[in-house]
Chain A
Amino acid sequence: KAGVTQTPRYLIKTRGQQVTLSCSPISGHRSVSWYQQTPGQGLQFLFEYFSETQRNKGNFPGRFSGRQFSNSRSEMNVSTLELGDSALYLCASQGGRGANVLTFGAGSRLTVL
């Protein structure tokens, strides 16, 4: 069974640009969550999508957005990038209602110059 796949793995952007990250969950998993990991703030929850609807949202500005497609694949977008957006962005999927156990991808490492 394939795991959670995130693309791209690494990317470099400049301030003011926007970026789109992609996540393919484990087959059959309908929930996809996104996390930001930085040395200073640690792991922080961005949002969760379930059946194409945002189910939970963290405390991030509106520049951070996401969506989920009918095949459960998810994308997150960050607009008007700031230096502080440099981070490892982790995607996780879970299967079964209330399972709570997240399976994480390897992450997309974003560097903003």
Chain B
Amino acid sequence: AQKVTQAQTEISVVEKEDVTLDCVYETRDTTYYLFWYKQPPSGELVFLIRRNSFDEQNEISGRYSWNFQKSTSSFNFTITASQVVDSAVYFCALSGSYNQGGKLIFGQGTELSVKP
């Protein structure tokens, strides 16, 4: 069975602090994809990143960075110098082989609150 665990339900930081959102996954697939989505108060899920299981390179995009470690089945997300606009619920998700296309297994989400 596939499962995604985001142990942190809520995180509160002060602007300019760095914050890391944890994600641990379980799957028996050898090929899989990992995602992060952001859900602002408007409700629409916004895609942030996709990683496939063969690509363990870390990625940095502006203030966002992702650390993928197969050895620990983790795909953590770090926001550097957080801003109030980063306040949202963040979801980590897992997908199996490509023919599962639209079927993502989501974690429970981490609500990030960035205070000025």
Q: Mark A residues whose CB is within 8 Å of B.
A: 31-33, 42-45, 48, 50, 55-56, 58, 88, 90, 92, 94, 97-107, 109
Contact = CB atoms under 8 A, between A and B. Distances in A.
A106 B102 contact: no
A92 B103 CA distance: 10
B61 to A, nearest CB: 15
Interface centre among B42, B44, B46, B101 (most CB of A within 10 A): B101
Given A100-B50, A103-B47, A43 B101 contact: no
What DSSP secondary structure best describes chain B's contact surface?
A: mixed
Interface of B: 33, 35, 37, 42-47, 50, 91, 93, 95, 98-109
B45 A104 contact: yes
Given A42-B106, A106-B44, A50 B50 contact: no
A55 B102 contact: yes
Given A90-B45, A101-B47, A48 B106 contact: no
A32 to B, nearest CB: 7
Given A42-B106, A42-B108, A100 B44 contact: no
Contact of A100 (B46, B101, B105): B101
Contacts of B91: 43
23 contacts: A31-B101, A33-B101, A42-B106, A42-B107, A42-B109, A43-B93, A43-B106, A48-B103, A50-B101, A55-B102, A56-B101, A58-B103, A90-B45, A92-B45, A94-B102, A98-B99, A99-B101, A100-B33, A100-B95, A102-B47, A102-B102, A104-B47, A105-B44
